[in-house]
Structure 1
Amino acid sequence: MTTAASTDGPLHRMTRVLESFSTRDRELSAAELSRRSGLPRSTAHRLATEMTSVGLLEQTPDGLYRLSMRLFEWGHLAVLADGLRESAAGHLADLANITRETVHLAVMEGHDVVYLDVIRNSAAPFLNSRPGGRMPPSCTGVGKAILAHSDPRLVEDLIREGLPKLTPHSVTDGAILQAQLKQVRRTGLAYDQQENAIGTICCAAPVFGVGGEVIGAVSVTGRADHLRLDRVGMAVRSTAASISRAQGGLPPVRRES
């Protein structure tokens, strides 16, 4: 019973719909989806409609279905994330050994920061961060490091939606956030001053790709009463630069705005 249910559940049927497409057949009708997936036509049509409503498929003006750009973006992110995590691993380990603090590697996905890797220090305070975990970017050093070099429209969207308040120190004023991001662009470093969790602070730096675009960020996090941000900044920035070079990228010239 369990095996039958697991191979004929909603996700399994959706996968069969997705696998109906190919490089030769990029646009399919509901009837073609039914034939290729082996699903009843009514089921294939219902799934295609539901998958279109959540952005997995798109419908052409003549009623055909095709894979959405959202799937392409997810696939690109998966490839990027895996390559970034692999090339960064040694540099992150070195940074953790040098600072004896918790080290993070993160990327931006949509309006969230997603942690790709976390190297914990046993003496560091407990942190909610974990590989695959998400956080609002305005409350994290890695998030600010990425936002400072992202499309300004992303920052404007976040401000328009309302900046979350995770602690009394979280930045909720858009003008203050914009000023902080300007400072990040000038210095190459971003900070979290107990904005994500009381008792912890961090220093972060952006990682850049081949085209000079920001693709992630690295941070060192520790106890607010112990970590000296001025002492780890150079190591964080150097690590981010090394990872950028490993990705074939170089940071842009620092600018005032």
Structure 2
Amino acid sequence: MSEDTKGPLERYLSILEVVLASGKGLTVAELGQILDLPKATTHRLLAALNGAKVLDVAEEGRRTYRAGARLARMLTLGTDENMLINFCQVVCNELVNELEETCYVVKLSSKSAYAVAVAVTDHSYRLHVMPGSEMPLHAAASSRILLAYQDDAARRRYLGAPLEKITPLTKVRLADVLATINEARRNGYATCLGEVDPSTMAYAVPVFSPGGVIYAVGVTGPQFRISKWPHDELLQRLRSAADKLRRMLEMSTS
């Protein structure tokens, strides 16, 4: 079908369909040939889609266009929520057997961060995190690592409400909270020591899912038990669990 018989929306949708079908991405020339579009028109449409973060540009020997973060997030939204929760629960159940502490997966929504799956052990003296419970955006380790991979405008939007002083150790000055989030981004993990509960400690790592970082895997428990774990070993186990969840999420949106 030639360009003059297609409306603008149809041409954009055609590009997205072909790019998604290709799997590995396509060049301007390949897209123009497949869709029978002039090179200038193809360039213009791709520039608009790239500017909207629906498509990304990859430079790996040749310039190709692939599904971008925004498109991936849209596809994730269309995935069966029950299946996603089941995947998260599988990861939590396996991780709790290794760490013998409360393990959980947290998801970042448009307004909050909340636990989608939780697994506890018999010796958990209390349940620190429950499925569906919101995590303090300024204090929880999981929230910090999720915000660490958002842009500055998004961080400030999430942290726009007055920040609650949950414990004497909770940071409530925006500059201090943003500093801990920046530190989490540099380190690739976040911690929470007595800021949500005076006696607990938590670690969380990001899940690099198809839609960007909107999931985090965490562990929490009494400080005296969590602190006994060798730092690198604890992080390695969390990251292995996060990587497994990433693979599950990729499969669910493929």
**1:173-188 paired onto structure 2 within 5 Å:** 173-188=173-188
- Does the residue aligned with 1:244 lie in a helix, a strand or coil? helix
- Does the residue aligned with 1:137 lie in a helix, a strand or coil? coil
How far apart are the structure 2 equivalents of 1:98 and 1:128? 18
Retained in 1: the 8 A contact 2:115–2:133? yes
How far apart are the structure 2 equivalents of 1:157 and 1:246? 30
Shift of 1:99: 0.6
Shift of 1:76: 6.7
Retained in 2: the 8 A contact 1:202–1:219? yes
Retained in 2: the 8 A contact 1:102–1:124? yes
Which residue number in structure 2 is paired with residue 242 of structure 1?
244
AA partner of residue 239 (structure 1)? A
How far apart are the structure 2 equivalents of 1:91 and 1:163? 31
The alignment of Structure 1 onto Structure 2 pairs a total of residues equal to 176
Which residue number in structure 1 is paired with residue 102 of structure 2?
102
Deviates more, 1:118-127 or 1:200-209: 118-127
Deviates more, 1:191-200 or 1:103-112: 103-112
AA partner of residue 127 (structure 2)? L
**1:158-237 paired onto structure 2 within 5 Å:** 158-211=158-211, 213-228=212-227, 230=231, 231-237=233-239
Which residue number in structure 1 is paired with residue 55 of structure 2?
none
AA partner of residue 233 (structure 1)? L
How far apart are the structure 1 equivalents of 2:119 and 2:78? 20
Structure 1 runs of 4+ with >6 Å offset = none
Shift of 1:198: 1.6
Retained in 1: the 8 A contact 2:135–2:142? no
AA partner of residue 199 (structure 2)? G
**1:94-173 paired onto structure 2 within 5 Å:** 94-173=94-173
Retained in 2: the 8 A contact 1:189–1:204? yes
TM-score (norm 1): 0.61
Q: 1:169 to 1:215 in 2, by over 3 A?
A: same
How far apart are the structure 2 equivalents of 1:80 and 1:191? 31
How far apart are the structure 1 equivalents of 2:151 and 2:223? 31
**Structure 2: tracts of 5 or more residues without a match:** 1-72
Shift of 1:80: 6.2
- Does the residue aligned with 2:165 lie in a helix, a strand or coil? coil
Q: 1:200 to 1:177 in 2, by over 3 A?
A: same
Q: 1:78 to 1:217 in 2, by over 3 A?
A: farther
Q: 1:183 to 1:80 in 2, by over 3 A?
A: farther
Task: Give per-residue Cα distances to partners, 1:127-164, cap 9 Å, x unaligned.
Answer: 34211112322221111111111232221124432222
Identity of aligned residues (%): 25
AA partner of residue 245 (structure 1)? R
Task: Give per-residue Cα distances to partners, 1:202-227, cap 9 Å, x unaligned.
Answer: 1001112224x112111011101221
Retained in 1: the 8 A contact 2:112–2:158? no
AA partner of residue 240 (structure 2)? S
**Structure 1: tracts of 5 or more residues without a match:** 1-72, 250-257
C-alpha RMSD of matched pairs (Å): 2.6
How far apart are the structure 1 equivalents of 2:124 and 2:202? 12
- Does the residue aligned with 1:160 lie in a helix, a strand or coil? coil
Task: Give per-residue Cα distances to partners, 1:170-227, cap 9 Å, x unaligned.
Answer: 121222222222222222111111111121111001112224x112111011101221
Q: 1:125 to 1:176 in 2, by over 3 A?
A: farther
Retained in 1: the 8 A contact 2:205–2:218? yes
TM-score (norm 2): 0.62
Q: 1:168 to 1:77 in 2, by over 3 A?
A: farther
Shift of 1:90: 2.6
- Does the residue aligned with 2:87 lie in a helix, a strand or coil? helix
Q: 1:76 to 1:243 in 2, by over 3 A?
A: closer
